[in-house]
Chain A
Amino acid sequence: MSTGAPDPQYPSAPQPDAQQEVDYLNASFGWKSWLLTTDHKRIAILYLIVITLMFFVGGAFAVIIRLELATPQADLMEPDTYNKMFTMHGIVMVFFFLIPGIPSILGNFLIPIMIGAKDLAFPKLNLLSWYIYVFGAIFTIWGMLAGGVDTGWTFYTPYSTRSSHSNVIPVAVGALILGFSSILTALNFIVTVHRMRAPGLTWFRLPLFIWSSYATSLVVMLGTPVIAITLVLVAVERVFDWPIFSPPEGDPILFQHLFWFYSHPAVYIMILPAMGVISELVTAFSRKTIFGYHFVAFSSMAIAVFGFLVWGHHMFVAGQSVYAALIFSALSYIVAIPSAIKVFNWTATLYKGSVSWQTPMLYALGFLALFSIGGLTGLVLAAIPIDVHVTDTYFVVAHFHYIMVGGTIMGYLGGIHYWWPKMTGRMYPEGWAKAAALIVFVGFNLTFFPQFIAGYTGMPRRYAAYDERFQVLNVMSSAGASILGFGYLLPFGYLIWSLKYGRHAGPNPWGVTGLEWQTSSPPPPHNFDETPTVTEEPYVYAVEEPEYV
């Protein structure tokens, strides 16, 4: 596969060294040309580097957690150390990988190209967002190296404000700083989608990745200020001992309301961009327009709206009123419907398609399976009496890993493979990539499926030591995690390898629609030689009149 020869199917692919085309990678050289760049594509690469780094930092914490949990006793490390490990795993993965991952890397790279623009609306702001991310990351890592934090990524009060002796403030401030990066990126995306679309690119001609990125940006803009002020209040209570979230005058439950008002929508910040990627992959590898475009597009908006109204389902045993709990339960059931609509439409898109089983499609199919399990176990959790039993157990841990790892990371990896030729001009090695996708899928299920059983039978989460009766399930998890970890290292290796040895991709290696595939790979500094004009809906593969069934 990786012979260097151009794909005979696309004779327009440039011959290596045939002509020195100017692209965004070779337009200028030197560290200044990268660190002071305002090109959204270069900024996306900068994000790719730092976010990948953070992913492996978070992954290292996960390895340590799974090693400790291979035996029932807390024998590998002190309980305090274990508590810091799961806290820092959560904080790094949620705030530094899952939330910014797809928007900052794929969104940054693709949104301007997909809408036929030269760059984002505010290129300097975009660079500033990256610096804020790096600053926040340095701050957090400093807090972690200088002693770490042990509150859980949820920072629950009064533990975080009155009891914990760890570095709560530096890490919380790191997350706070990061929030500004998210907000600025979201603002940039919203303005860009509103103002910079190419001539003829109406809202309903937008690719679905744009719709989901747009919906995500709205959630980020509305939700992130709430977590920002909440983290500030935690720091204030810790420093000045003001009773904000602690009795008698303060209220610990108020913290949970504020925290989940952001952090539940944050789940949608993580999953919506992945859903956008899946919509692109399913159409591209079926060579067929999406089934029910408007339903898929509007379901993203519905998720964004309803996602703000379900936060109370994290607090069914925290002592909220019975009727509040019932309303949050009902809304949690309703928010499942837009996700179901997406899954059904993706399935229907395959019908009578021309389905190709290339790596990105494998990830898309993996996403469908894992996201469905994650989403449907959400229906179990929305049932209050069952949630009372399984909340704060491994059932919940398994559920959200199916959504975040099975959903978001499968979408992310699928997207990275799909657009890798566009970003770098090179193809990844298909055989290796297919093997990695399979390994990730198997490793993931072996890691997290046993946790549903451990949870329902009563294993609480965040336990350094546990009952011996849970050991078999935990050994399976730890074994799965080592397979999963290996699966994640493979793309890291072969994608870097492909930068030098990968086959030249040509502008459109997949033979798919979309403005990003109409420019060269890698794209020129301003994306297009001349501004494209859009005359039709996205995903038009055949000239035939579309059929309504």
Chain B
Amino acid sequence: MIPLADVALFPDQASTVAPSVDHLYYFIIGTTVGVSTIVAVLVIYFAIRYRRRSETPPKPIVGSLLLESLWSGIPLAIVLVMFGWAARVYFEVVTPPQDAIEVFVVGRQWMWTVQHREGQREKNELHVPVGKPIKITLASEDVIHSFFVPDFRVKQDAVPGRYTHMWFQATKPGRYRLYCAEYCGTEHSKMIGWVVVQDPAEYEEWLASRADLSMALRGRQLFLRFQCVTCHSADSQAKAPVLEAIYNRPVRLQDGTVLPAANDDYLRESILNPPAKVVAGYQPIMPTFQGVVTEDELLQLIGFIKSLRPGETPPRNEQSTAPQSDPKAPEPKPFQKK
């Protein structure tokens, strides 16, 4: 056991938001300790000064509108300052910079898997460069988990059925503890790992040593393996929308409404629950891929769609057959990679 005197009162400040969060914390703790000290001193003073000396009841004092106004108004003003300050820091915490490096993290009982865009994959570890903003897209394979790095003061739940996002920018190299903060079952307390912050050169070296097929390329393989290309072909026989350059563009739906942007959540929903929002001019014929693709694969498929520029849809081939209502049925032979 470490000695009591060495117990840290604060975690390491290792991200750009950590000092902002701590300053707000000092302010709120300082203010509340100040106010409560005044109250405590008064309570103790009154309780001693006016302790019972005789059985004669004291003179009644029924109240004071002035005091009531003061001790409602002043605390209200103080808490509104806290709220405003907190809101300002909150915007900093939730708004990732445009140039952030994207990383994709999937939580499952009881492990974190990480995919980098260039294909590097890791378990219960996340390598990032120092001084660069990192944007994490979180998904969950089963129940709710929560990605928590105390030294960065960031935490975000990974919620099954949707994507959530968080970002941070590490300020010094080192190894920082990663915890699952949302109770997720038996090995919840073992769902821990490390965020490894490296100097840019060291990070590049790590990336190179782990290079693999990029997420988009893996997505392309899945696009062929699941026979998505049969309908989502870029030719005249297409039974489904062409997917080239649709990412984050508006989509007109069957019911006439226009979705402002085909974002990750829309693409995800369209793969798992296709009839939910069908594009205008098409029939709801696509089967669901719920339970067929894993969360990691979904991220790769979406990565592929994101990367797809005009003319890049792979060509159909005569053996292509549309996926039937049960995609778990024996797979048709996949395409050979060109």
CB <8 Å contact, B53 and A293: no
In the complex, chain A residues whose CB is within 8 Å of the CB of B39: 343-344, 347, 368, 372
Given A353-B50, A547-B60, A549-B64, CB of A384 within 8 Å of CB of B143: no
CB <8 Å contact, B185 and A83: yes
CB <8 Å contact, A544 and B90: no
CB contact list, A254-300 vs B, under 8 A: 286-289, 291-295
**A138 contacts chain B at the CB level, 8 A cutoff:** no
**Partner of B57 from A287, A334, A469 at Cβ < 8 Å:** A287
CB <8 Å contact, B189 and A466: yes
CB <8 Å contact, A344 and B71: yes
In the complex, chain A residues whose CB is within 8 Å of the CB of B285: none
**B9 contacts chain A at the CB level, 8 A cutoff:** yes
CB <8 Å contact, B185 and A456: no
CB contact list, B53-102 vs A, under 8 A: 53-64, 67-68, 71-72, 75-76, 79-80, 82-83, 85-87, 89-94
In the complex, chain B residues whose CB is within 8 Å of the CB of A326: 87, 90
CB <8 Å contact, A288 and B9: no
CB <8 Å contact, B10 and A163: no
CB contact list, A306-323 vs B, under 8 A: 317-319, 322
CB <8 Å contact, A322 and B157: no
CB <8 Å contact, A341 and B68: yes
Which of these binds chain B: A117-125, A243-251, A517-525? Answer: A243-251
CB <8 Å contact, B151 and A458: yes
**A541 contacts chain B at the CB level, 8 A cutoff:** yes
Assembled-state Cα–Cα distance A383/B185 (Å): 29
Task: State the B residues within 8 Å of A (CB).
Answer: 1-4, 7-11, 17, 20-21, 24-25, 28-29, 32, 35-36, 39-40, 42-43, 46-47, 50-64, 67-68, 71-72, 75-76, 79-80, 82-83, 85-87, 89-94, 109, 142-144, 146, 148, 150-151, 153-157, 159-162, 164, 177, 179-190, 269, 272-273, 288, 290
**Partner of A385 from B21, B55, B75 at Cβ < 8 Å:** B21
Q: Which residue of B lies closest to A378 (CB)?
A: B32
Given A156-B144, A388-B93, CB of A292 within 8 Å of CB of B189: no
Assembled-state Cα–Cα distance A461/B273 (Å): 35
Assembled-state Cα–Cα distance A159/B186 (Å): 11
Interface centre among B32, B63, B90, B155 (most CB of A within 10 A): B63
Produce 1/0 per residue, A515-549, CB < 8 A to B: 00000000000000000000000011110101111
In the complex, chain A residues whose CB is within 8 Å of the CB of B17: 385
**A468 contacts chain B at the CB level, 8 A cutoff:** yes
**A74 contacts chain B at the CB level, 8 A cutoff:** yes
**Partner of B273 from A248, A391, A453 at Cβ < 8 Å:** A248
CB <8 Å contact, A456 and B58: no
Assembled-state Cα–Cα distance A475/B162 (Å): 40
Produce 1/0 per residue, A316-338, CB < 8 A to B: 01110010011001100110110
CB contact list, A445-484 vs B, under 8 A: 453, 456-458, 460-469, 471-473, 475
Given A288-B60, A457-B11, A468-B1, CB of A79 within 8 Å of CB of B186: yes
Q: Which residue of A lies closest to B176 (CB)?
A: A458
In the complex, chain A residues whose CB is within 8 Å of the CB of B25: 380, 383, 386, 456
Assembled-state Cα–Cα distance A183/B216 (Å): 56
In the complex, chain A residues whose CB is within 8 Å of the CB of B155: 317, 388-389, 391-392
Assembled-state Cα–Cα distance A372/B39 (Å): 9
B44 to chain A, nearest CB (A): 8
CB <8 Å contact, B82 and A253: no
13 example contacts (A-B, Cβ-Cβ < 8 A) are as follows: A248-B273, A288-B60, A351-B61, A355-B50, A356-B52, A383-B28, A383-B89, A386-B86, A391-B155, A468-B1, A542-B60, A546-B60, A546-B62
CB <8 Å contact, B52 and A293: no
In the complex, chain B residues whose CB is within 8 Å of the CB of A345: 63, 68
Assembled-state Cα–Cα distance A287/B11 (Å): 48
B239 to chain A, nearest CB (A): 23
Residues of B contacting A: mostly: mixed
Given A159-B185, A386-B21, CB of A547 within 8 Å of CB of B154: no
CB <8 Å contact, B2 and A468: yes
CB <8 Å contact, A347 and B183: no
In the complex, chain A residues whose CB is within 8 Å of the CB of B164: 319
CB <8 Å contact, B183 and A352: no
CB <8 Å contact, A355 and B46: yes
Given A158-B143, A458-B11, CB of A541 within 8 Å of CB of B21: no
B45 to chain A, nearest CB (A): 9
In the complex, chain A residues whose CB is within 8 Å of the CB of B3: 472
CB <8 Å contact, A79 and B21: no
**A379 contacts chain B at the CB level, 8 A cutoff:** yes
Q: Which residue of B lies closest to A547 (CB)?
A: B61
Task: State the A residues within 8 Å of B (CB).
Answer: 9, 74, 79-80, 83, 150, 152, 156, 158-159, 162-164, 246-253, 286-289, 291-295, 317-319, 322, 325-326, 329-330, 333-334, 336-337, 340-341, 343-345, 347-348, 350-357, 365, 368-369, 372-373, 376-377, 379-380, 382-386, 388-389, 391-393, 453, 456-458, 460-469, 471-473, 475, 511, 539-542, 544, 546-549
In the complex, chain B residues whose CB is within 8 Å of the CB of A333: 79-80, 82-83
Interface centre among A292, A317, A325 (most CB of B within 10 A): A317
**Partner of A388 from B1, B67, B82, B153 at Cβ < 8 Å:** B153
CB <8 Å contact, B86 and A385: yes
B332 to chain A, nearest CB (A): 25
CB <8 Å contact, A462 and B188: yes
Assembled-state Cα–Cα distance A460/B155 (Å): 11
In the complex, chain A residues whose CB is within 8 Å of the CB of B162: 247, 319
In the complex, chain B residues whose CB is within 8 Å of the CB of A292: 62-64, 67-68
CB <8 Å contact, A548 and B83: no
CB <8 Å contact, A372 and B28: no
CB <8 Å contact, A330 and B61: no
**Partner of A319 from B24, B157, B183 at Cβ < 8 Å:** B157
A200 to chain B, nearest CB (A): 19
A169 to chain B, nearest CB (A): 17
CB <8 Å contact, A372 and B181: no
Interface centre among A330, A350, A369 (most CB of B within 10 A): A350
In the complex, chain A residues whose CB is within 8 Å of the CB of B142: 158, 162-163
Q: Which residue of B lies closest to A476 (CB)?
A: B4
A108 to chain B, nearest CB (A): 30
Assembled-state Cα–Cα distance A306/B164 (Å): 29
In the complex, chain B residues whose CB is within 8 Å of the CB of A466: 189
**Partner of A393 from B53, B57, B181, B272 at Cβ < 8 Å:** B181
Q: Which residue of A lies closest to B79 (CB)?
A: A333
CB <8 Å contact, A392 and B64: no
Q: Which residue of B lies closest to A456 (CB)?
A: B10
Assembled-state Cα–Cα distance A74/B161 (Å): 32
Q: Which residue of A lies closest to B273 (CB)?
A: A248
CB <8 Å contact, B83 and A357: no
B39 to chain A, nearest CB (A): 6
Given A385-B20, A465-B189, CB of A354 within 8 Å of CB of B54: yes
CB <8 Å contact, A288 and B273: no
* New contact pairs (13) apart from A158-B142, A372-B36, CB-CB < 8 Å: A152-B183, A158-B144, A248-B288, A252-B144, A287-B57, A318-B159, A345-B63, A365-B47, A372-B39, A385-B92, A468-B2, A469-B8, A511-B55
